[in-house]
């Protein structure tokens, strides 16, 4: 009898254990989704500090860790609430923001008005991102959950700028204790928490269950660094990646025709361009800069290197951006380019370097441009470097020419023209041609500060015409934005700005 009771107890325990296991298994089967999304992108995070790491590969990660006062809907482009549950326009220069109560940072601290003021003041003081918020005169705390933002002058893109990830809200106490801590140990209030960073390999994030919108659809997020675009496509095909950003143009058809994959594609707000370092000879000579512009066959670059996608660029802002004015794509004329070089004192050309980061498509673009410039006697050495090195060294002005990409994240010309053309923004903010021209500065500021829409439109038209003559940059191509994904990926929305949010994404098993 005793043995039988023992046997019954063993069977009962086994049944309970089996049932418990079955419950977990059933739960997993019911959800039917992976607990990790793996993303591939071409470059590593430059800094996890949102007030420093403004490059797209950095923001693609930090945009999940930090939130801003307001956000931009990726589908409609409308400004929507985020940390601020609502706002009111008090006057042409005053905006009152009401902060959601009960919001917490990943370390458990409540997010309040003093964090907002601290963050915006910190962004204004940042050499890297000040251009996005330096229209602000003062941030005043009215109570724990209300701030009043006063601008220096009426400024139309105020809300759009505050939605840019570089205006992220960070925890005051955490950062005050160590001003450099966010570079490698970020804490924000966004949908994902930072877990780890293996430099040049991957960044790992984990869902923040206390997020105000609710926990993300997928628990873990891994962003892998795969510089070679062709390798990212292969990793997508083999299942190593769930989503891959910036598909190689020659691989677009391959992804589109693969029954296991899906392709996302749309016109972007990005212009790729060459920036001439005007601090160095011979790029301090206007005719040299104009000659190089005339030696580049942009349509051929679109048709060949870019496999027919995108369009030749005539300005450094894309046509979809407010303030765009077409001055016409530079005429392709090697003969006229040679004549300009001779007038500039370089009848036999010269030697120089063209820097580019280690992105396959960008390198191929520079190699094609190298051959075009060879035709007019300019011997160009294309130097390829890791993205972080490329940014830091060009910020210091070490380059002759650099091949850059710029996204007008706010869809307003001020975002680009102030950053890339105003004399106060040389180096880290974006002006890597080091242009310092009084008339350019005047037009940039007129477009930036005027409350009159017609005045802004005229200012940007005049600015575009002025810059065409100065030719401190050579706009090359407006690109499409792409991403490839496994067919099992659900809820992914391609953002034309390039900062794709992933908290709504899940991947079926």
Which DSSP string do the residues of 145-171 spell out, in sequence order? Answer: TEEEEEESS--TTHHHHHTSGGG----
Q: Is residue 72 part of a domain?
A: yes
Mean pLDDT for 62-89 is: 94
Asked whether residue 275 falls in the same domain as residue 403, the answer is yes
Q: Report the domain count for the chain.
A: 3
Last residue of a domain, one of 137, 171, 205: 171
Q: What is the pLDDT of residue 443?
A: 98
Q: For the chain, percent helix, then strand, then coil, each to nearest 5? A: 35, 25, 40
Measured between alpha carbons, how far is 455 from 413 in angstroms, rounded to an integer?
13
* DSSP assignments along 430-497, one per residue: SB-S----HHHHHHHHHHHH---HHHHHHHHHHHHHHHHHH--EEEEEEEEEEEEEETTEES----TT
Say if 489 falls within a structural domain.
yes
Any domain includes 329: yes
Those residues with Cβ within 8 angstroms of residue 258's Cβ, 6 or more apart along the chain or in another chain: 237
User: Same structural domain for residues 160 and 302?
Assistant: no
- Residue 477's DSSP bridge partners are 272, 312
Residue at 59 is within a domain: no
CATH number at 76 reads 3.90.76.10
Strand partners, 65: none
Q: What are the C-alpha distances in Å from 441 to residues 118, 130, 163, 465?
A: 29, 17, 25, 14
d(CA 249, CA 274): 20
Please report, for residues 210, 219, 327, 430, 501, the alpha-carbon distance to residue 241 in angstroms, rounded to integers and kept in the order given: 27, 16, 42, 32, 16
Q: Residues with Cβ < 8 Å from 146, sequence gap 6 or more?
A: 96, 97, 98, 99, 113
Phi, psi angles (nearest 5°) of residue 395? -60, -40
| Separation between Cα atoms, residue 369 and residue 372, nearest integer Å | 5
Q: DSSP letter string over 362-381?
A: HHHHHHHHHHHHHTTT-EEE
* Cα distance between residue 247 and residue 55, in whole Å: 18
User: Does some domain include residue 5?
Assistant: no
How far is C-alpha 95 from the chain's CA centre? 26
Integer Cα distance of 482 and 88 in angstroms: 36
Q: Is the domain of 307 the same as that of 437?
A: yes
Task: Evaluate if residue 6 carries a pLDDT over 50.
Answer: no
119 and 151 both lie in a single domain: yes
Half-sphere exposure of 87 (CA within 13 A, CB side): 21
Reported as a single tens digit per residue, the pLDDT across 242-299 is 999 999 888 999 999 999 999 999 888 999 999 999 999 999 999 999 999 999 999 9
pLDDT band at 307 (very low <50, low <70, confident <90, very high): confident
- The reply to whether 295 and 423 lie within a common domain is yes
The pLDDT of residue 342 is above 90: yes
The 3-state DSSP class for residue 386 equals coil
| Co-location of 143 and 219 in the same domain | no
Q: Do 259 and 292 lie in a common domain? A: no
Question: Under DSSP, is residue 261 helix (H, G, I), strand (E, B) or coil?
Answer: strand
Phi, psi of 479 (to 5 degrees): -100, 165
Among candidate residues 171, 195, 226, the one where a domain is terminated: 171
220-225 and 202-207 as β-strands: parallel, antiparallel, unpaired? antiparallel
Question: Looking at residues 213-221, what average pLDDT do you find?
Answer: 97
Determine what percent of the chain is predicted with pLDDT higher than 70. 94
Q: For the chain, what is the mean pLDDT?
A: 92
Q: Residue 423 is part of a domain; what is its CATH number?
A: 3.10.105.10
Residues 172-211 have pLDDT tens digits of: 999 999 999 999 999 999 999 999 999 999 999 999 999 9
Q: Determine the pLDDT at residue 102.
A: 96
Q: What is the DSSP letter of 314?
A: S
Element (H, E) at 357: strand 351-357
Whether the Cβ atoms of residue 301 and residue 419 lie closer than 8 Å to each other = no
Please report the pLDDT score of residue 75 as a whole number: 81
Q: 423 and 365, same structural domain?
A: yes
Asked whether residue 274 is assigned to any structural domain, the reply reads: yes
CA 40 to mean position of chain CA atoms: 15
22 — pLDDT class (breaks 50, 70, 90): very low
Element (H, E) at 26: helix 2-31
- Residue pair 419/425 in contact by the 8 Å Cβ criterion: yes
320 and 346 inside one domain: yes
* Mean pLDDT on 440-455: 92
CA torsion angle for 469, 473, 476, 477 (degrees, to 10)?
Answer: -100
Cα dihedral sign, 54-59-65-69: positive
- Look at residues 116, 145, 171 and tell me which one is the last residue of a structural domain: 171
Residue 429, judged by CB atoms within 10 A of its CB (0-12, 13-18, 19+), counts as buried
Residue 488: CATH number of its domain: 3.40.190.10
Considering the domain architecture, whether residues 312 and 459 belong to the same structural domain is answered as: yes
User: Are residues 298 and 166 part of one domain?
Assistant: no
**Per the domain annotation, does 454 fall within a domain?**
yes
- For the record, the structure tokens of 339 come out as 């004549």
Alpha carbon separation from 448 to 119, 163, 165, 204 (Å, rounded): 22, 17, 20, 38
Structural domain for 160, as ranges: 66-171
pLDDT at position 370 is 98
Do 235 and 304 belong together in one domain? Answer: no
Residue 254, classified by CB atoms within 10 Å of its CB into exposed (0-12), middle (13-18) or buried (19+), is: middle
Inside any domain, residue 93: yes
Confidence of residue 409 (pLDDT cuts 50, 70, 90): confident
pLDDT of 24 > 50? The answer is no
| Cβ within 8 Å of residue 118, ≥6 positions away | 170, 172, 175, 176
């Amino acid at each position: 009898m005793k043995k039988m009771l023992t046997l019954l107890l063993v069977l009962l325990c086994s049944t309970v254990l089996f049932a418990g296991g079955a419950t977990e298994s059933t739960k997993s089967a019911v959800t039917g989704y992976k607990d990790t999304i793996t993303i591939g992108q071409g470059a590593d995070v430059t800094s996890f500090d949102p007030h420093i790491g403004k490059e797209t590969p950095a923001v693609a990660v930090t945009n999940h860790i930090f939130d801003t006062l307001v956000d931009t809907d990726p589908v409609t482009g409308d400004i929507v609430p985020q940390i601020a549950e609502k706002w009111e326009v008090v006057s042409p220069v005053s905006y009152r923001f009401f902060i959601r109560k009960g919001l917490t940072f990943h370390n458990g601290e409540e997010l309040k008005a003093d964090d907002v003021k601290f963050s915006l003041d910190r962004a204004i003081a940042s050499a890297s991102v000040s251009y996005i918020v330096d229209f602000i005169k003062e941030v005043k705390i009215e109570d724990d959950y209300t701030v009043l933002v006063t601008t220096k002058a009426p400024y139309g893109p105020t809300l759009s700028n505050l939605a840019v990830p570089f205006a992220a809200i960070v925890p005051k106490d955490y950062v005050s204790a160590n001003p450099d801590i966010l570079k490698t140990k970020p804490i924000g209030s966004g949908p994902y928490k930072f877990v780890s960073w293996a430099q040049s390999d991957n960044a790992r994030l984990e869902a923040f269950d206390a997020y105000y919108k609710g926990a993300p659809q997928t628990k873990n997020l891994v962003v892998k660094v795969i510089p070679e675009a062709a390798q990212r496509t292969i990793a997508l095909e083999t299942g190593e990646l769930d989503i891959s950003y910036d598909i190689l143009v020659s691989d677009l058809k391959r992804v589109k025709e693969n029954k296991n994959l899906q392709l996302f594609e749309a016109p972007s707000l990005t212009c790729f361009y060459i920036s001439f370092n005007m601090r160095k000879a011979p790029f301090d000579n206007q005719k040299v800069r104009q000659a190089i512009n005339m030696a580049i066959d942009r349509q051929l670059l679109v048709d060949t290197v870019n496999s027919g996608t995108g369009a030749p660029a005539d300005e450094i802002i894309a046509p979809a951006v407010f303030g765009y004015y077409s001055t016409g794509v530079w005429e392709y004329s090697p003969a006229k380019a040679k004549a300009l070089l001779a007038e500039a004192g370089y009848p036999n050309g010269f030697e120089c370097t063209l820097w580019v980061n280690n992105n396959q498509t960008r390198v191929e673009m520079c190699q094609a441009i190298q051959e075009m410039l060879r035709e007019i006697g300019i011997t160009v050495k294309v130097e390829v470097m890791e993205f972080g090195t490329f940014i830091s060294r060009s910020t210091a002005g070490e380059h002759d020419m650099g091949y850059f990409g710029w996204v007008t994240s706010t869809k307003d010309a001020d975002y680009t023209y102030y950053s890339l053309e105003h004399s106060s923004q040389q180096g880290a903010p974006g002006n890597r041609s080091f242009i310092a021209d009084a008339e350019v500065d005047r037009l940039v500021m007129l477009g930036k500060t005027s409350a009159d829409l017609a005045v802004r439109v005229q200012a940007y038209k005049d600015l575009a015409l002025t810059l065409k003559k100065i030719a401190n940059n050579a706009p090359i191509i407006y690109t499409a934005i792409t991403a490839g994904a496994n067919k099992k990926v659900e809820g992914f929305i391609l953002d034309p700005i390039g900062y794709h949010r992933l908290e709504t994404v899940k991947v079926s098993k």
